[in-house]
Amino acid sequence: MTVTSPRASSQDASKRPRGSELALTGPPAGPPGHSVIEGPGTAEVRWILPGELDTAIAGWFARFPTGMESREDAYLVRPVLRGLSVKVRAGQMLEVKQFRGSPGILDAAGRARGRIESWQKWSFPFGPLGPNDAGPPSWLVVRKRRWMSQFRLVDGRLMAGLPGRVAEPACAVELTEVRTGGETWWSLGFEATGPADSLRGTLQSTAALIFTQAPPGDWELDLSHSQSYAEWLSRRPVTGVTK
């Protein structure tokens, strides 16, 4: 299935503002009695495209062991916090991610090009948003159905589906059906974790493995579709927002 939509050129995409306008020098303050959890630094690439998730793409992704989950995340979309992504994950965890720059472009065998982004995450337990949570911030609910594969470096080789320690080089890959504001989109994302000096190499090796076989159809996984959820939502019409 082919879905067409207006897209920015790759040159325009490379000029997108990425710097943080807010200084976050430490973990965000949580409610009294809640411990802030500092997550690992990550190197990420994500593409978000309009339309239903093609069954051929799903079959292509299923070449590797996958797990599936469905959940709802609420993203803070107003006020706009440049360089920060704030969401309530599945009604249970408040997550704050700080954008820390782009170390370059991922080029996977000429079959996909995306902007690599460095992020740092903090999270802490959080109750679900309720009808009495009034105030100036506005939240946009995003419904996700995700298929996920996990890859780890073992003796210099990438292995799928193996558990490991947090400090070891690893890369999660997800194919996600996204619904919000009455529209359907889909996303392919990579998130590398581990020692800082291994992030880019792990990300590139995993992408090379995934794209050994070209994705079916004429989908363009290019710079014009390469964006984080925070950037994508900042460009969406403000509809279906919880205030």
Rounded distance between C-alpha atoms, residue 37 and residue 104, angstroms: 28
DSSP assigned state of 59: H
Residues 9, 47, 196, 147: what is their CA dihedral angle, to the nearest 10 degrees?
-170
Burial 172-190 (b: 16+ CB within 10 A, else e): bbbbbbbebbeeebbbbbb
Q: Is residue 19 situated within a structural domain?
A: no
Whether residue 51 is contained in a domain is answered as: yes
H or E element in which residue 193 lies: strand 183-193
Please report how many Cα atoms fall inside a 13 Å half-sphere around the Cα of residue 10, on the Cβ side.
9
Range of the domain at 53: 35-242
Residue 98: pLDDT above 50?
yes
* Dihedral of the alpha carbons of 70, 7, 171, 153, in degrees to the nearest 10: 140
Mean pLDDT of all residues in 109-132: 82
Residue 27 included in any domain: no
- Domain membership flag for residue 59: yes
**13-64 pLDDT, tens per residue?**
433 433 333 333 344 444 444 567 777 799 999 999 999 999 999 999 999 9
CATH number at residue 218: 2.40.320.10
pTM for this one?
Answer: 0.78
Q: Using an 8 Å Cβ cutoff, are 124 and 93 in contact?
A: yes
